[in-house]
């Protein structure tokens, strides 16, 4: 049976009605535009697939890019106010819920994508659910931040987050995120756990690609 994961509590503290309206700007500027570049990679990975489920669709940034590339998209997210924000951007069918228990029938989707979800969930439940709702040959794409390797890069990364913490004084609705996101990323083992879960549930062609000096990663795998 699914337990309450501590990532839910963190996600509920991080993503609120107060910061939903400013999320898109923060995602763009706080990543120096890398957010769009990473999402373009996700869009490329599913460019030959028809029906896409986006987990943790949030305010709909990726949903919009997928729709513009000709895909048919269904979204799911935990946070009601983020889903509301997505409605102002793009007309896709969205549901509120957790990615660990999907309200969809077996074999419904050609691909499942997510951006910044993996570190907040029990990824084994998510992968199990993806296996169920994907059709054979369907692919799953997980993207999230990672803690970079190497002393120099880590120093730079920590310096960046110290600046972000200062920004929190001027953006109170983001203070909790800016204060705690770095330790959350540093302590997350989402890449390893996701790879393990994908192998456990017999996904094939599992590939891991690190991006932007190891500050993010994309994992792609195929349902046999
Ligand atoms: C940083 S935002 C990313 C939103 C969107 N994916 C993007 O890239 O712009 C993280 C999102 O994950 C959602 N989330 C966190 N835990 C979740 C879960 N267990 N199931 C579904 N969504 C979740 C949050 O509600 C939030 O919208």
Q: What percentage of the chain's residues is helix, strand, coil (to nearest 5)?
A: 45, 20, 30
Per-residue pLDDT tens for 72-123? Answer: 999 999 999 999 999 989 999 999 999 999 999 999 999 999 999 999 999 9
**Beta carbon of 56 within 6 Å of any ligand 1 atom:** yes
In a mutational test of the pocket of ligand 1, which residue from 23, 30, 77 has the highest number of ligand atoms less than 8 Å from its CB? Answer: 77
Token readout for 53 is: 């489920």
C-alpha 181/C-alpha 177 separation (Å) is: 5
pLDDT level of residue 5 (50, 70, 90 thresholds): confident
Chain position carrying tokens 């986006």: 54
pTM for the structure as a whole: 0.97
- Ligand 1 centre to CA of 119 (Å) is 10
Q: Which domains does the chain have, with CATH numbers?
A: 6-147+188-222 (3.40.50.150)
- Ligand 1 centre to CA of 59 (Å) is 9
Chain position carrying tokens 């729709």: 67
Per-residue pLDDT tens for 142-160? Answer: 999 999 999 999 999 999 9
**Beta carbon of 11 within 6 Å of any ligand 1 atom:** yes
Per-residue pLDDT tens for 118-143? Answer: 999 999 999 999 999 999 999 999 99
**Beta carbon of 63 within 6 Å of any ligand 1 atom:** no
Token readout for 82 is: 């983020």
Protein residue with its CA nearest to atom 12 in ligand 1: 56
C-alpha 211/C-alpha 200 separation (Å) is: 25
Atom number of ligand 1 nearest to Cα 120: 16
C-alpha 104/C-alpha 26 separation (Å) is: 31
**Beta carbon of 113 within 6 Å of any ligand 1 atom:** no
**Beta carbon of 216 within 6 Å of any ligand 1 atom:** no
Q: Would you say 213 and 153 are in contact if contact means Cβ atoms under 8 Å apart?
A: yes
**Beta carbon of 146 within 6 Å of any ligand 1 atom:** no
């Amino acid at each position: 049976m699914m337990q309450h994961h501590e990532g839910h509590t963190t996600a509920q503290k991080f993503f609120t009605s107060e910061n939903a309206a400013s999320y898109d700007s923060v995602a763009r500027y706080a990543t120096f535009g890398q957010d769009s570049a990473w999402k373009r990679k996700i869009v490329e990975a599913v460019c030959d697939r028809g029906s896409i489920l986006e987990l943790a669709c949030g305010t709909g940034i990726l949903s919009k890019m997928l729709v513009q590339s000709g895909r048919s998209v269904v979204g799911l997210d935990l946070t009601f106010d983020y889903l509301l924000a997505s409605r102002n951007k793009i007309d896709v069918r969205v549901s509120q819920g957790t990615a660990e228990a999907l309200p969809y029938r077996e074999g419904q989707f050609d691909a499942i994508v997510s951006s910044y979800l993996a570190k907040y969930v029990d990824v084994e439940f998510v992968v199990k659910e993806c296996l169920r709702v994907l059709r054979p040959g369907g692919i799953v794409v997980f993207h999230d931040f990672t803690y970079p390797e190497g002393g120099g890069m880590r120093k730079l990364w920590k310096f960046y987050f110290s600046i972000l913490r200062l920004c929190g004084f001027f953006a109170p609705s983001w203070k909790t995120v800016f204060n705690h996101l770095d330790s959350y990323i540093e302590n997350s083992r989402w890449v390893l756990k996701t790879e393990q879960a994908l192998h456990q549930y017999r996904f094939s062609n599992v590939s891991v690609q690190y991006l932007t000096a190891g500050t993010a990663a994309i994992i792609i795998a195929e349902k046999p």
